[in-house]
Structure 1
Amino acid sequence: MKTILIALFFLQATFSFAETIADVKFNKGYDNIAVSKSSDLVLKLNLQKGVPYQVLVLQQGIDIMLILADETNPKIQEMDSPNGRFGFEILEFVPKETKLFTLTVRKFEEETNADKGVISFYIKKFTPKEIALKKQTEKELAIENTKNVLTLDIDHFWEAFDKLKICKNHWDSVMCIQNLYLDKATDGLKDFIRVRNFSAEGFVNTLTKLPKYYASVRPFTYESKKSEPLIQEVFDKLKDIYGNFKPFKVCFAIGIHNTGGTVSDRFILLGTEMITACKYVDFSELGDNWKPSDTQKEPNIPLSIRGIVAHECIHTQQKSKLSPNAVVCNQLNSCIHEGAANFIGELLTGTTNYSAVNEYGDSHENMLWDEFKSTLCSGNASNWLYNGNTVKDRPADLGYYIGYRISQAYYTNASDKRQAIIDIIDMDDPLTFLQKSGYDQQKKN
């Protein structure tokens, strides 16, 4: 028995460091295969003409690239996503003829990369039925992508969510999310995937941790579709008050509970599972800090979304770079950007989604400003923004309030209100903007 165990261990170790896997099975997961800088891993694939194949290689501590080749072409495709040492490399291919191909998994040569690591992989061979569904989805997406407000990703997510119930193992679940949700992404979700580095693995891990949360938030995510006319009102008002308006779109998608809203260069991207969560959602897997107060009003999700979009749409218009003459002042700059989005968003809608932050800020304004000013140009704003997991004894994100009050002071003191709106949105010199707002002088008085 001891000899057999030693032989099995040797066989497993040999496979883990093997340079070639000659008979790769499709629609089957291969886990925890070692990769190092000393040798490539070569997969030999017998591919059929006209059949789509999808290769997913999960990087687990090492950054790799994929190189697809045949006997006549040493590089048919090469794939290296900018996701570092973790996450998926995905390669898709439809052969023009039936023959043997090789897929090389090669360590990416970079000083910051690990010398060795582990990868797992799965190669999907699509069935005729799946190919037909892909073509149908392409037609649906062509229509959806022409819209200003995209919501189809919500339906695709819950379709995948329902199919998870019949998945037999982890790879089944990963491929379910990949093929039924991420592969069917609208243009907006494609941006979301890139901006937030979403992966099927990340979704499966999150859904495993938060099944009650996602199941309970589901009916409220559909409510977001009712907000489309309200979003159009925000578009129209912003065009009217801001002469430098640049068109953009809105995408409602389901994320991994780490982003309520962000932007790309063409979309407002909304994590619908977060922005529609209300007191009727099961927060037990997240803890008490996430649960809304039972005393809050009945949720009006479309109106709440209108406020979120009004805030985020200002981010689509703001400048990402400072003026060449500006002094770098990161903390102030970041907080003015967020506060300006709140202030202009309030002008657009007449309401705010930040009442708790504003109420606390109004009661402690002088103290907050003195504290903020003492670290005015800190390299980051982590003590003032996006600090819900670390802040204690007061509301998170009070930098929104500081930036709001500076923007409000600038607007109040301006004789030309229309120009003031342009100045606030186009702000690219935070220290000069603060000085012109008169806010600090106002606090001294």
Structure 2
Amino acid sequence: MKKTLLALLLLISSCAFAQNVKFNHPYENISIAKGSDLVLKLKLEKGTNYQFLVLQQGIDIMLVLTDETKKILLEKDSPNGSHGLEIADFSPQVSKEYTLTIKQFEEEGNANKGIVSYYIKKYTKAELALKEKTKQELAIENNKNVLTADIDHFWEAMDNLKNCQTKWDSILSFQNLYLDRATNGLIDFIRVRNFAAEDFVRTIAKYPKYYNSVRPYTYESKKAEPLIEEVFAKLQSIYGNFKPFKVCFAIGVHRTGGTVSDRFVLLGTEMITTGKNVDYSELGENWAPKDRTKEPDIPLRIKGMIAHECVHTQQKEKLAEKAVVCNQLYSCLREGIANFIGELITGETNYSVVNEYGDKNEKALWTEFKSTLCAPSAQKWLYNGDSAKDRPADLGYYMGYKIAKAYYNNATDKAQAIKDIIDMDDPLTFLQKSGYDQQKKQ
């Protein structure tokens, strides 16, 4: 009897029960001790859509939905660790009581006590109608080579903030009006860069002037579609192994201008479509371009960026089997090759500042670069806008560009050279064949 009572007490202590959960109502800052779960009893109706949103605040959890027989109907765990939203949608086939368990992972990294906030959304008929309309629109949009619908969805979510009275209202605005309506491209963007609705709420609260001022420029990206098609055609004409891909213009949380997935070039439109009237005061003037007297040709700028990024979609993901691992050189070659081939395609480069500095200091830069040629990372040469001092950031783009250009110029068969450059998977052998180091010794 004592053992049974003890077991019952242990079971009760390991779970925190929240009865009579209200839909469309925020439950904030619920404390969960290590080893405990939060168990919610929900009366769900057949034919109605529900969305479960749980904000992890220093605790890694998963969502488990079961019926009265303890049959698992849904499990959800996103790769976002102990912070961020866990989100799951569910439409019951039968009206009855269900159990949603906010289950804490038993792992060393989890805190002794964590905090979660949750919101159980019950969709209205109007919201369901919007979901169905969006589904039909996305079917059309996802068939295009260049996707821009996410831009419109983002600004709809942004405009809706004026109707939001709580943090959860704002989170739901971006979740339901933007992320839940994601094109296939934005779905990849979310996976590759791991951002969620609360990231938008936080970032826009921090940079409202920037986002509001960049808005008219983001629409300029829609004018770039014919130029992007030109890039596709040109790359296909000079590279026989061309693998088709698509382009998605989305809006992020100001940390990615461009990246790729296995099927898309993904562009952070809020970063690549800036003009002279953008307000950088919240970001710091280091983010502002040096020349702000003229409006840039945004479609042309995008053409150059696409030419660069589309080369990345064609490059090999792994080194050759017998290649020597040389991370600094390899990383800079990949970026520099994308710049060089992009320049062949468009006749222009988006890295004029880097190239101008590089041309003036090329020999010294090569001596410095060569001294750490196979360093474990290229952190001193790439993606170092926050740490570069007294010279431009990303000079590794320039070094890789010059090596690729030397390879091309020294080749007698230019068509084969383009293939070799894009297919580069042995950085030290490529450097040797380029003749670049020998040129710098002269």
TM-score grouping bracket, smaller chain normalisation: over 0.9
Distance between the aligned counterparts of 1:333 and 1:29, measured in 2?
Answer: 49
Partner of 1:420: 417
Per-residue CA deviation, residues 82-126 of structure 1 (Å, 9 max, x unaligned), is 121111111110001111111111112334443432211111110
Distance between the aligned counterparts of 1:38 and 1:233, measured in 2?
Answer: 57
Among 391, 395, 399, the alignment partner of 2:396 is 399
Residue 18 (structure 1) shift: 6.4
> What is the SS of the residue equivalent to 2:99?
strand
Distance between the aligned counterparts of 2:318 and 2:32, measured in 1?
Answer: 40
Among 50, 53, 67, the alignment partner of 1:53 is 50
Correspondences of 1:32-431 after superposition (within 5 Å): 32-294=29-291, 297-431=294-428
Give ranges in structure 2 of 5+ residues lacking alignment.
1-12
> What is the SS of the residue equivalent to 1:122?
strand
Note closer, same or farther for the CA distance 1:113–1:318 as it changes in structure 2 (3 Å cut). farther
Per-residue CA deviation, residues 225-263 of structure 1 (Å, 9 max, x unaligned), is 000000000000000000110000000001111000000
> What is the SS of the residue equivalent to 1:100?
strand
Contact in 2 for aligned 1:69/1:102 (Cα 8 Å): yes
> What is the SS of the residue equivalent to 1:136?
helix
Give ranges in structure 1 of 5+ residues lacking alignment.
1-15
Distance between the aligned counterparts of 2:44 and 2:149, measured in 1?
Answer: 33
Contact in 2 for aligned 1:42/1:102 (Cα 8 Å): yes
Contact in 2 for aligned 1:223/1:302 (Cα 8 Å): yes
Contact in 2 for aligned 1:17/1:33 (Cα 8 Å): no
Partner of 2:8: none
Residue 360 (structure 1) shift: 0.2
Contact in 1 for aligned 2:35/2:106 (Cα 8 Å): no
Residue 34 (structure 1) shift: 2.0
Per-residue CA deviation, residues 377-423 of structure 1 (Å, 9 max, x unaligned), is 11111111111111111101000000000100111111111111111
Residue 293 (structure 1) shift: 2.2
Equivalent pairs: percent with the same residue? 69
Residue 79 of structure 1 aligns with an amino acid whose one-letter code is K
Distance between the aligned counterparts of 2:138 and 2:313, measured in 1?
Answer: 23
Residue 39 of structure 2 aligns with an amino acid whose one-letter code is V
Contact in 1 for aligned 2:332/2:378 (Cα 8 Å): yes
TM-score between both structures, scaled by the size of structure 2: 0.95
Per-residue CA deviation, residues 306-363 of structure 1 (Å, 9 max, x unaligned), is 0000000000011111111111111111100000000000000000100000000000
Per-residue CA deviation, residues 28-59 of structure 1 (Å, 9 max, x unaligned), is 11122222332211011111111110111111
> What is the SS of the residue equivalent to 1:19?
strand
Contact in 1 for aligned 2:14/2:35 (Cα 8 Å): no
Among 16, 19, 33, the alignment partner of 1:22 is 19
Contact in 2 for aligned 1:279/1:293 (Cα 8 Å): no
Per-residue CA deviation, residues 408-440 of structure 1 (Å, 9 max, x unaligned), is 011111111111111111111111111111111
Regions of 4+ moved over 6 Å: none
Number of residue pairs the alignment of both structures matches: 430
Residue 287 of structure 1 aligns with an amino acid whose one-letter code is G
Contact in 2 for aligned 1:41/1:104 (Cα 8 Å): yes
Distance between the aligned counterparts of 1:348 and 1:294, measured in 2?
Answer: 26
Note closer, same or farther for the CA distance 1:233–1:116 as it changes in structure 2 (3 Å cut). same
Residue 81 (structure 1) shift: 1.1
* Alignment RMSD (CA, Å): 1.3
Residue 25 (structure 1) shift: 1.1
Contact in 1 for aligned 2:34/2:114 (Cα 8 Å): no
Distance between the aligned counterparts of 1:423 and 1:134, measured in 2?
Answer: 47
Residue 227 of structure 2 aligns with an amino acid whose one-letter code is L
Residue 74 (structure 1) shift: 2.8
> What is the SS of the residue equivalent to 1:57?
strand
Residue 62 (structure 1) shift: 1.6
Note closer, same or farther for the CA distance 1:296–1:363 as it changes in structure 2 (3 Å cut). farther
Partner of 1:9: none
Distance between the aligned counterparts of 1:283 and 1:192, measured in 2?
Answer: 25
